[in-house]
Amino acid sequence: MSEDKYTAQTITWLHTWVPGKLFSLRCTRDPGFRFVAGQFARLGVRPQGSEEIVWRAYSMVSAPYDEHLEFFSIVVDGGQFTSTLEHLRPGDTLYVDKTAYGFLTTDRFAQDVPATRSLWMLSSGTGLAPFLSILADLPVWESFGPLVLVHSVRTREELAYADQIAALAQHPVIGEYLQADPTRLHYVPVVTREALPGVLSQRITTLLDNGELERAVGLPLDPARACVMLCGNPEMVTDLRQRVQDRGFRAPRRGNPGNLAVENYW
């Protein structure tokens, strides 16, 4: 990538969720870097002793109005990018492509529909990231009714951001919506490889097939009254996309606004 296409930013904050597996970081943000909630950046790191910058796609966790950028990352054993990223510390440089990308955004859905429709955000692992940005953004609270966030992970410790989601009623920008109606947000953690009392333990695909997800949320997943966004493990995305398409959900196409948006992470 030529040098005029990216900026050098500085890491300002790190948080480890699961040592050696999951962490978040913040960096400074170039004032010219604009994005829509749900989009991703291309991040660059320079592995030690290398002249080349290695680039990877990363969804923004932070909201479009935040001064910083925040990202949520996996550590892949032997991964070219993450084995460098995980060792960066505050003060180190992170390169950020000047352009934001991606179509996992709610502005792709039909706008001329009642604001009572629900938005279902179904994620696995770090696929949670874009939904945190979307949830912190005002438009989603203004143009949807119930918001459903499902996060599927293998073990309880991987339920990153659960405390922040629980505290959204105190959020300075969108908190008032939850204070007015605490039932607007349905956060559904799913832990598939540990049995935890009161926590769903089957895959989201199974929970859709057996009706348990809709029962847990208390709402129907109905294309006439809902939009769906899927993000994370590509097999999960494929399997879920098939199921919601069978129910009548459609991705936007050729100018026809749809009610389904998906993003694969690998």
Ligand X SMILES: NC(=O)c1ccc[n+]([C@@H]2O[C@H](COP(=O)([O-])OP(=O)(O)OC[C@H]3O[C@@H](n4cnc5c(N)ncnc54)[C@H](OP(=O)(O)O)[C@@H]3O)[C@@H](O)[C@H]2O)c1
> Which stretches of the chain bind ligand X, using CB under 6 A?
74, 124-125, 152-154, 192-193, 203-205, 233, 235-236, 239
- Does 131 engage in binding with ligand FAD (CB under 6 A)? no
Q: Which residue, 140 or 221, has its beta carbon nearer to ligand X?
A: 221
Element (H, E) at 96: strand 93-97
- Which of these, 27, 10, 13, lies nearest to 68 by C-alpha position? 27
Rounded distance between C-alpha atoms, residue 129 and residue 248, angstroms: 26
- Which of these, 25, 27, 57, lies nearest to 42 by C-alpha position? 57
Three-state secondary structure along 135-180?
HCCHHHHHHCCCEEEEEEECCHHHCCCHHHHHCHHHCCCCHHHHHH
Q: Which residue, 203 or 225, has its beta carbon nearer to ligand X?
A: 203
**Residue in the structure block whose two tokens are 């089957």:** 202
- Does 152 engage in binding with ligand FAD (CB under 6 A)? no
Q: Which residue, 58 or 187, has its beta carbon nearer to ligand FAD?
A: 58
Among 18, 53, 57, 138, interactor with ligand FAD by CB under 6 A: 57
At closest approach, how far in Å is the CB of 206 from ligand X? 8
Among 16, 50, 80, 155, interactor with ligand FAD by CB under 6 A: 80
At closest approach, how far in Å is the CB of 209 from ligand FAD? 24
| Residues written for the chain | 266
- Does 265 engage in binding with ligand FAD (CB under 6 A)? yes
The one of ligand X, ligand FAD, none whose footprint includes residue 79, by CB under 5 to 8 A per kind, is ligand FAD
**Residue in the structure block whose two tokens are 């009610």:** 259
Q: Which residue, 222 or 235, has its beta carbon nearer to ligand X?
A: 235
Question: DSSP 3-state assignment of 110?
Answer: coil
Backbone angles phi, psi at 205, to 5 degrees: -60, -45
Question: DSSP 3-state assignment of 189?
Answer: strand
The angle formed by the CA atoms of residues 44, 50 and 52, to the nearest 5 degrees, is: 45
Q: Which residue, 191 or 227, has its beta carbon nearer to ligand X?
A: 191
At closest approach, how far in Å is the CB of 235 from ligand X? 4
Residue 234 burial (CB count, 10 A): 14
The site for ligand FAD, by CB under 6 A, has a size of 21
The one of ligand X, ligand FAD, none whose footprint includes residue 80, by CB under 5 to 8 A per kind, is ligand FAD
Among 44, 64, 125, 223, interactor with ligand FAD by CB under 6 A: 125
- Does 76 engage in binding with ligand FAD (CB under 6 A)? yes
Residues that bind ligand FAD (CB under 6 A): 40, 56-59, 71-74, 76, 79-82, 102, 125-126, 129, 263, 265-266
